[in-house]
Structure 1
Amino acid sequence: MPAPGTTPRSAPRIKSPALLVAESGADREGHGLKRTMGLFQLMSFGVGAIVGTGIFVGLSDSVAQAGPAVVVSFVLAAITCVFTAFAFAELGGAIPVSGSSYSFAYAGLGESTAFLVGWCLLLEYGVSVSAVAVGWSQYVNELLDSLTGWHLPAVLSAGPGDGGVVNLPAVIVIAMASVLLVRGVRESARATAAMAVLKLVILVLFCAIGFSAFKDGNLTPFSPAGLGGIGAGTTAAFFSYIGFDAITTAGEEAKNPRRDIPVAILVCIGLVTLLYCAVALAAIGAIGGDQVGGRPAALSYVVNVVTGSSAGGAVIAFGAVVAIASVVLAVMYGQTRILMSMSRDGLVPRVFEKVSPRTSTPVAGTLIVAIVFALPAAFASLDSVVNLCTIGTLAIMAVVNIAVIALRRREPGLDRSFRVPLYPVMPVLGVAFCLYLMYETGWTTWLQFAGFLAAGLLVYVGYGRRHSRLATGQAARDDAGAADGAEVTDGAATATRTA
């Protein structure tokens, strides 16, 4: 018979929602992280994590694939996100911890799946932050050129793959984000909120300028590449939505996570979808899809053409600099909190779970993440791995939908402040849409993804499985001393609150 708190070899290592909450201390004050984020701060983090490179840089790629029908592509990508947003809203309210989809997978599908989800989050957050930082560097140069006629030389603003030596601005924006994150979540939330409001104002201003020159003829032909173009455009447009799940990583720092996290997720998806469709229509309606598709810094170009001046383009470039910086900040925040949860479980080194008593932030973990993200941003061209980032994110979203179904069956009495409507149709459709967009990434991306997952399995077998606190029973011993009555039963480590 296995020792208390351990799991039999034949059973999956599943951690119950109650144990996850008890170990994190999310229902208690004084557990390390401070509850300082209200609903507005959560929504700002969501907008901050979503709106950035995808619309300021990636719009031209989506238009090149779908033409004016890119609006349909944005809606289809949003529908995929909405299905999964419902799943994140239910699980984020029921399991208000920092681990986000990693913790949801641990509770619903077991430790090995959870580790692979955490491994894929390195793609979603790590690759996207590095790519976003490279995009930030491009807009900094454009802003400098618009204002002063001078820009950084390529040797200091691009990696070796792009004709330079080191991308210094990309490193600087990651360093600035890490400094804010180390100082404290309150300061980070305030900065993110300010940047989110500013970039929304600038995008609304862009829409006003674009619609002032709107011509119906620019929307025809509406779908030059047919359904295939819309499908490819949807996959490209999906990258513009990556990051909304970062809201759930604030589960231990939200004042009222069970109420505010579901609301923040759904409001962000709705707001961003309306904004993206409006921006796309304004851009294409003003100058035509053939002028927008494939053009770098397309939004600045549209404003310059419509106004006949470079001043408007400089304003848009400034908005892009702010927008992309906020994405770096919000996504790095999410990555450090997920690594903290994995570290608590013993699946990654313990350095990531240490919280500074002075700032109530994971200082060491934040600095490590900053260094790791800065290296590829400084020296690599990341265009080739954007599809890999997309397929990894879609796989995570599919797992979260499946976790909703698994937990509904295993934990019917779980306190859910929000429930996925039309269950089980919604999560099943969420999985189906994710699989479709994964298919659209192409077989080369699937091969890369298979290799990435294989590497993750090797890391799990070589380190995570042997150091798992759930397997050794350490989770049960720590919880017994800290959680006022949460106890582990069964070999599957099911916890019940007795207080």
Structure 2
Amino acid sequence: QYGWLGVISGASLVFFAFLGFDIVATSAEEVKDPQRTLPRGILGGLALVTVLYILVTLALTGMVPYTELAKAENPSLATAFIAVGAGWAAQIISVGVLVGMTTVVMVLLMGSSRVLLALCRDGLLPRSWGVTSKKRQTPERLQIAVGVVVAILAGFTKVEALEEMINIGTLSAFVLVSVGILILRKKNPHSTGYRVPLVPLLPVLSALLCVYLMMNLTTLTWVRFLAWMALGVVVYLAYGMRHSRLAHSE
């Protein structure tokens, strides 16, 4: 499907290309002056990558008609260079993609272990898992567990299904964060943590745009997402709700 709807559908599928920037925020405990350096790193990286994506898109549009790319079974950036007879460039791009995806996966694995560490500290997951190594002060136990789970999923699940699940999961997380900002501003207006500008306009706009992108994903992806969310609710009701710090403080 081409036109504006096609662009939005494509954006919903390749949203994972912007993953990694939000993961940087999970390393706040390991960063010097995080309130100053993290926003600069995240926003600066986003701006740079967005400009590069736009430039690549413009170059690709001028190189090969989109109808030619659509004829390929698995069209990619390398496909465009092969179509214009620059096979050597396609090989370099393929190696670059492999290296780039490897670094992204490593960052996501690191961020996942930090998120789980926070959940364990809050009691939403067993606290015995939320320990760090004495030598490196990193959650080695969680890091190994995340690596094993990811390896199993990668080996026995279709990549296309994982891509869409990653997209809808990330978008839903962004929606919750945006809504959470509004709630925190009301319940804890004097917080000394990170400050968000243009509240409530920016959080509301962010939540609506993320929901709009989610609506362009397939029905099967939504079914899998709801099943995954249901599993999370079961874990929370069966364990997290009774063992959380919030429950013990009340």
- 1:418, 1:303 → 2: CA distance? 45
Q: Which residue of 2 aligns with 1:215?
A: none
Residue 156 of structure 2: which of 373, 379, 383 is its match? Answer: 379
Residue equivalent to 2:171: 394
1:409 and 1:282 mapped to 2: Cα distance? 46
Name the residue aligned to 1:356. Answer: 133
Letter in 1 for 2:79: Y
In structure 1, list runs of 5 or more residues that go unmatched.
1-64, 66-224, 474-490, 492-499
Q: Does 1:468 align with 2:249?
A: no
Shift in Å, 1:259: 0.4
Once the two structures are TM-superposed, the CA of residue 226 in structure 1 deviates from its matched residue by 2.8
State the shift of 1:437 in Å.
1.2
- Would the alpha carbon gap of residues 393 and 309 (structure 1) be closer, same or farther in structure 2, given more than 3 Å must change? closer
The DSSP-based 3-state class of the residue aligned with 1:419 is coil
* 3-state SS of paired residue (2:207): helix
CA distance in 2, matches of 1:299, 1:248: 30
CA contact (8 A) 1:284 1:292 kept: no
CA distance in 2, matches of 1:417, 1:367: 31
- Residue 225 of structure 2 corresponds to 449
Counterpart in the other structure of 2:81: 303
Alpha-carbon displacement from aligned partner over 1:14-65 (angstroms, at most 9, x marks no partner): xxxxxxxxxxxxxxxxxxxxxxxxxxxxxxxxxxxxxxxxxxxxxxxxxxx4
Note the C-alpha offset of 1:338: 0.5
- After superposition, the Cα gap between the structure-2 partners of 1:300 and 1:227, relative to the gap in structure 1 and judged at 3 Å, is closer
Instruction: Give the Cα separation in 1 of the matches to 2:194 and 2:234.
Output: 37
What RMSD, in angstroms, separates the aligned Cα atoms of the two structures? 2.0
Identical pairs, percent: 34
Taking a change above 3 Å as real, the CA distance of residues 446 and 309 of structure 1, as seen in their structure-2 partners, is: closer
- Supply the AA of the counterpart residue of 2:77: L
Alignment deviations for residues 78-112 of structure 1 (CA, whole Å, 9 cap, x no partner):
xxxxxxxxxxxxxxxxxxxxxxxxxxxxxxxxxxx
Q: Go from structure 1 to structure 2 and tell me whether the alpha carbon gap of 1:462 and 1:379 turns closer, same or farther (over 3 Å shift).
A: same
- State the alpha-carbon separation in 2 of the partners of residues 461 and 417 from structure 1: 30
CA contact (8 A) 1:387 1:445 kept: yes
Instruction: Give the 3 Å change call, closer, same or farther, for CA 380–435 of structure 1 in structure 2.
Output: closer
What's the secondary structure of 1:358's corresponding residue?
A: coil
* 3-state SS of 1:435 partner: helix
Distance 2:206 2:74 in 1: 32
Alpha-carbon displacement from aligned partner over 1:454-498 (angstroms, at most 9, x marks no partner): 11111111121232233234xxxxxxxxxxxxxxxxx4xxxxxxx
* 1: CA distance, partners of 2:27 / 2:86: 42
Counterpart CA distance in 2 for 1:229 and 1:472 is: 49
Aligned position for 1:157:
none
Query: Which among 94, 97, 102 is matched to residue 325 of structure 1?
Result: 102
Distance 1:468 1:410 in 2: 20
Could you list the runs of 4 or more consecutive aligned residues of structure 1 that deviate by over 4 angstroms after TM superposition? none
Counterpart of 2:61, as a letter, is: I
Q: Distance in 1 between matches of 2:10 and 2:209?
A: 14
Q: 1:277 is aligned with what amino acid? A: I
Alignment of 1:94-493 (within 5 A): 225-293=2-70, 295-296=73-74, 298-306=76-84, 308-416=85-193, 418-420=195-197, 422-473=198-249, 491=250
Residues in 2 aligned to 1:400 and 1:452: alpha-carbon distance in whole angstroms: 18
CA shift for structure 1 position 298: 2.2
Return 5+ residue gaps in structure 2 as ranges.
Answer: none
Partner SS for 1:451:
helix
User: Secondary structure of 1:359's partner?
Assistant: coil
Relative to its length, the structure with more helix (as a share) is 2
Instruction: Write the deviation string for residues 165-206 of structure 1: whole angstroms up to 9, x where unpaired.
Output: xxxxxxxxxxxxxxxxxxxxxxxxxxxxxxxxxxxxxxxxxx
User: Which structure has the higher relative contact order (CA within 8 Å, separation 6+)?
Assistant: 1
Q: Give distance in 1, aligned partners of 2:151 and 2:117.
A: 20
**TM-score normalised to the size of structure 2?**
0.91
**Which residue identity is paired with 2:238?**
G
Question: Radius of gyration: which is bigger?
Answer: 1
The Cα of 1:418 is off from its aligned counterpart by 4.0
Aligned to 1:221: none
Indicate if the aligned counterparts of 2:161 and 2:221 stay in contact, CA closer than 8 A. no
Mean Cα displacement is larger for which, 350-359 or 423-432?
Answer: 350-359
Deviation at 1:387, TM superposition (A): 2.4
